[in-house]
Structure 1
Amino acid sequence: MKNIKKIVSAALITMLGFSAVGCNMIAKTPEAIAKSAVAEVNGEKITRSDLDNNIQMKQVIAQVKQQYGENYEKNDEAKSTLKDQRTKVLDTMITEKVIEQKAKELKVLPDDSKLKDQASKQLDDIKKQQFGNDDTKFQDMLKQQGFTVDSAKQLIFDQLKESQIQKNISDYLAKDIKIDDKKIQDYYKANQTKYTEKPDTIHLAHILVKTEDEAKKVKERLDKGEDFAKVAKEVSQDPGSKDKGGDLGTVNYVNSGMDATFMAAALALKEGTISAPVKTQFGYHIIKSIKKTEYPVKKLETVKDQIKQELLEQEKSTLVSQKTSEWQKAAKITKYEKNLL
């Protein structure tokens, strides 16, 4: 800078020229890039460093580096991928920042010192449980993942803080939620299968095809008496069940792990019957209900507290989403897309 100042003092024009060059050079250094703002939320900055140190973004960068090599920043395709991913992660970080600011305003921010202690303890537990307190192996693992002990603690701290803020906000809003007996009774009546003595189950089979016309032709064949398993082996496009004659095995009515539209159609069938074509994200299904096993429903008194808690959590989640949307609309948010690359 001393040399530049000497040159600058020679003439005003020269000063302007060198100043511009100097600023551009500084702006391109890794340090300047790290400090550059990618967004502001009510005047509070989110820097490029904040963004790139986000765990999701670190994983993306590691994948891009693996795919395109150390010089990935010079590859147009890699740069496009990074910009897209940074945009998505930044949107999440902006939402988190809005919520954090609101938590501060409502005076429900968690105690940082306690969270830091928890973060240290969690990291110590990982070292003890997974590496037998072997510091060398532990440090090697951190290095492979792109972390130091301090940055790993910071990551855990950030995750704990985000989770606690969400809980505190949720609990704060929950004080205005009322779950009366009528809500509980209505939910109980509408969700009987959730409260049976044992989980109700259904044994299913299906035939999956791409188009509605194909599905109609399959249904016609079955209506004429062709064997379901035989037709499934011939035309079904589900590799997991085709060779088993379309058999999907037995699943629970609740939390079956299957597509919601598929399960709704399956549960509407009487035992031993076959559905009309059912469209889902996977294509068109012809579903067969092979056997249903149903159990008595528990009395309302025995599940009343459980239902009240479920309804409370549902309403809290809905309210938090609504309030978050309101807070974001009211916030002054500025993004600096040019700083994403």
Structure 2
Amino acid sequence: MKKTKIALALSLTGAIMITACNDDGDAENNADEEIVNINGTSLTEGDLTDELKNEFGEQTFNQMVQDTILRQQAEELDIGEEEVEDELDDMREQMGVEDDEQLLEMLQMQMQIPVDSIEELEEDFLLPQVVIQELSTAEVDISEEDKEAYYEENEEELTEVEARHILVEDEESAEEVISELEEGMAFEDAVEEYSEDTQSVQEGGNVGTFPQEGHQMDENFAEAAFDLDVGEISEPVESDFGYHIIEVLERNETYEELEEEIESRLTQEQSQMPEEVIQELMEEADIDITDSEYEDWLQDPESMMMQ
């Protein structure tokens, strides 16, 4: 199971902001240097640094401590480029992109994650995540019997289908599209010509794979999809969005087809929470706060998550 938890990356934002203000390593010498003047009022680099410190200092201090511990763990676990690259591939897949430039743009614009390069993304965000994933699953032990028992208990919930559809405004239009499909029109061509679902048009109408229970699809849509055989095309299905013509592309319902999903679920159930992993690492680490100003700043990970 490898699912990138982007929320972990977001927690590093404050650290990057303050570090950027001091990346010349000479903050004290530049503290009195004016950076802007407003109607005769001077603001210095020291003013900016103090404001950032007051606003983000405690959170950033804790994140820097945790990040240092995680980097040390990466060395101990011998986590290298291959593992981080796998995590990057997972992120690309989750976000539906193949191009690195597009990935960075999505992270910056949609998720407000301040990364300027893939190298920075890997080093500052994905490497800590790989460490946490490896440590959180270290004690997981799943047998074949465990997986088979889970399948028997949750077979209906686990069953999933992959489907594509054509969305039109009314039932009459849906019937006309079905007639064209029956006369030999390719489903992909009908999607491009008729479908009003702009998000799925580029995928040939494919809405992906979803389970029989716990999905986020329209209930009428999901019920109709699970009633279809693979390759079968539905009658018009009404939803809040209009009328759908649905075709099921694949159905996963046997143990062999669902084994990977079952193992993923069981692994997730047995894994430690990220904050628990970090808490244990902090308790094991020799953290010596040498400046009395910061004696009360160190927090446990769970309290940071609550902020």
When the two structures are superposed, what TM-score results if normalisation uses the length of structure 1? 0.37
Which has the higher Rg, Structure 1 or Structure 2? 1
1 or 2, which has the higher helix percentage?
1
